[in-house]
Homo-oligomer: A and B are copies of this chain.
């Protein structure tokens, strides 16, 4: 790969000093104090309707400014998902509108039915306790398959059968016939091949970011201003406008630094209610801060899913046919809806593909009375990967094949084209999966460990496992990918960069600065970035999700940088009409065609501001649209110790080796991978939002009861890379942010299988489940 000037450097993140010293400002830091506070009354039933609310006593609590119930708010449904919007109403791409600010129809336990505004949070709590609610209660349905059988009262009137969506992509009859089959099932059950099947389950994982969801709203001039801890300020603007029924231009959203999001903040949970409450009290500033407990049950976690997977495979290790049937439990509201499970079944299919022989990916998304679900890091892909890799692990184990060799025989590789997915064609322009796997295999000492642990006996055993992953960068070609960036040349020759894309802890600001510097021809330290978004002045971008920012928003940065560079050179030509040949910008200086320095960039910048004859504040503002995709791939190798009587798995060593295209900033990518690996260890072994299926109530909405890995549970995390130069990404990059959360869980599962021979299908593999599994198999 060509060496670049700024891209590829492990520069220190631009927000490091502020965040380490504590001077970085988050929403609550910025909120003027004292301010009014708002709190929400949540339903204590899981299904039914609010018949009446008596708030008279609550209104008498000292300090209470107002109590607002589901009978006071506008009866306007709106969508909450952080998805692009669509101009064309016929596209069918607009998100479902099934939320209201407050709703008398209770669909889930903890639904929002009233709100209090008071002078402090104590007064809020006292008032909440005094609100009397009369319900009509109906039975709760939590299982999606049960829900599809019909409920007396549909969860949402728009879906009488509770079915949000059902899709099924099947190999065409022509392709089936070409291989001698009439159906996928026939291919799966072809007696010439070995047939495998499994039923799998994945739980609702919670994002558990440090900063909860918090916003504050006030009115200013002709606008409602909402300062929010969000990943998607421009979408928050739209949704507030939609929910309140006001022009979107009358809403201004500001996003300061945020303490993590991982997808929670890709939904617009409470900002519209906060904004509406503000309008009810004359525009006074009111803050709505979600508690840690509410975060678990009143915002959205990873959709729980079940999978039935099947495959047939030949003695040559080649997969012949594959099928996946998924049920996704969206809870009482759609939020991100069917897109999540589509990501699961697509990534299942892409990783090991038999599309042209026999493939079926079928998915249901179902309304139930379960808790909210929505986006979480990797957005359905870890679940699909769990399904794909459990099955591959089983096959390798049962056939006595080497798991690495078997996987690599069937895995996605460079040049892969998938025309199978409705909505667009996917291509792997680059794919260093073989190199990644080889690197990981060597690092972990695959063959040695396999041999060493093969004959272990006794209650404590060791194993080694592998899992591959595939992740399609961003949402194109299935959905709109657009981004805008703006750059201005300062008087001192530095530039100011403005992005609608958001820094949410992942390091986006730093890589944007590097890419801008690269495009212009200056040092990264000469790029200042405006980290806070303010929809009034920030270029449009849909925000942080789908590992889209470096790829999509980075394309906007690159184009904008190139435009600014061109404008600088044009202005240099005005200043130096006699300079020889084509001008260039090299090392902060304008040089002529033979490389002689014409002037320094700071000199030019001063002229651009203050030249008495012709000046121009040099500025570039570019919108781009991305129609391509890029496929990031990689693998995890894990070595574990399994204490069967204790039901305890210790991850001793673990490595992710990834092809994320060109690494814009290797240090930041490594940090991303560390975080994702830890979160995947949580996904595989610990994390599960437990729901009482009878009431729909979340049983463990606290950090005491919701178990996530701490530093004590996570070994040293090894991250290595094989760089490729993807032709579609700006400076060759592909997705990074979500990729490391995909494969570790399945690799641990594979290592447990290796250690014990026991197949686990339900994630997380908690001590209870492990213990039961080992007992069932007679190992303890």
Contact = CB atoms under 8 A, between A and B. Distances in A.
A540 B492 contact: no
A528 B494 contact: no
A534 B492 CA distance: 17
Interface string A591-624: 0000000000001001101111011110101010
A578 interface: no
Contact of A612 (B86, B218, B248, B607): B86
Copy count, this protein chain: 2
Interface string A481-509: 01010100011111110100000000000
Interface string A272-289: 000000000011000000
A291 interface: no
Given A283-B23, A480-B610, A536-B528, A220 B18 contact: yes
B617 A625 contact: no
A768 interface: no
B492 A249 contact: yes
A56 interface: no
A614 B495 CA distance: 28
B612 A623 contact: no
A708 B496 CA distance: 45
Specify which of A222, A486, A526 lies most central, judged by the most chain B CB atoms within 10 Å of its CB: A222
A531 B625 contact: no
A139 B85 CA distance: 74
Contacts of A335: none
B617 A539 contact: yes
A236 interface: no
B87 A241 contact: no
A491 to B, nearest CB: 5
Given A87-B609, A480-B612, A621-B621, A15 B249 contact: no
A84 B221 contact: no
Interface in A7-64: 14-15, 17-18, 21, 23, 25, 29-30, 32-33
Interface residues of A, number: 70
Contacts of A611: 87-88
A710 interface: no
Contact of A491 (B91, B219, B248): B248
Contacts of A734: none
A491 B239 CA distance: 12
Interface of A: 14-15, 17-18, 21, 23, 25, 29-30, 32-33, 84-88, 91, 218-223, 238, 241, 247-250, 282-283, 480, 482, 484, 486, 490-496, 498, 525-526, 528-531, 534, 536-540, 603, 606-607, 609-612, 614-617, 619, 621, 623, 625
18 contacts: A18-B220, A30-B32, A84-B610, A85-B491, A85-B606, A85-B610, A86-B610, A87-B603, A87-B606, A87-B610, A223-B528, A247-B492, A249-B493, A249-B495, A249-B528, A250-B494, A539-B617, A619-B621
Contact of A530 (B17, B493, B537, B539): B537
A499 to B, nearest CB: 11
Contacts of A491: 85, 238, 248-249
Contacts of A282: 21
B247 A18 contact: no
A493 B606 CA distance: 36
Given A222-B528, A249-B490, A615-B482, A496 B537 contact: yes
B25 A220 contact: yes
A240 to B, nearest CB: 12
